[in-house]
Structure formats: structure tokens, C-alpha cells
Amino acid sequence: MTLVELLIVIAIIAVIAGLSMSVLIRTRQRAYLATCISNLRQLVQAVHMYESDWGIVPIEEHVELPNGWWGWFHQRVFQYVRDDSVFLCPSD
């Protein structure tokens, strides 16, 4: 095998590796998106369950807590979700 043939084979392998890396990055981003959508769906279901139990949607604009509105919402909805990872998106 000559040097030119070896360089051509290395270049072809580099191109194939570059293409596969871009596909893997896009696949990972789609998986993160699917996880975010699933988390949002679970949160919406938790809000609906809260509403069916208490008769109101857990939204307050003037909450005086150390964590503010987010802490208040988390306290209300956590009993229906029971997993802190639902409140975060993997891509964040």
C-alpha cells in the first residue's frame, strides 16, 4: 500500500467519523427534548390532579416565601410528582 492510498483511507475514515458524530449529537438533543416533553406532561398532569383535589389551579402571584413563587408551586405540586428531576430539563 502506498502513502497516497493510506492517506485516502485515513481521509475517508475521518469523513465517516465526522458524519457519525453529527448524527450522534442530533440524536442526543432529540433524546433531551423527549425527556423535557415528558417532564412537562407529568407537571401538567400533577396540576390537573391538584385542581381536581382542591378545586383551584396552584397559581399565586403574591407569595411571601423564602423561595418565592417557585418554592410555593414546588410545595403544592411535589406531592403529586414525587421526583425533583421532573422540574428540570436535561439540556439545562
pLDDT in tens, 38-77: 999 999 999 999 999 988 887 766 666 666 667 778 888 8
Mean residue pLDDT of the chain comes to 87
Rg (CA), the chain: 24
Q: How far is CA 25 from CA 29, 31, 69, in A?
A: 6, 10, 35
Domain ranges in the chain are: 3-87
Q: What is the pLDDT of residue 44?
A: 93
- CB of 60 within 8 A of CB of 72? yes
Instruction: State how far the Cα of 51 lies from the Cα of 25, in Å rounded to an integer.
Output: 39
With a threshold of 0.85, does the pTM exceed it?
A: no
pLDDT at 74: 82
**Contact between 43 and 77 (Cβ < 8 Å):** yes
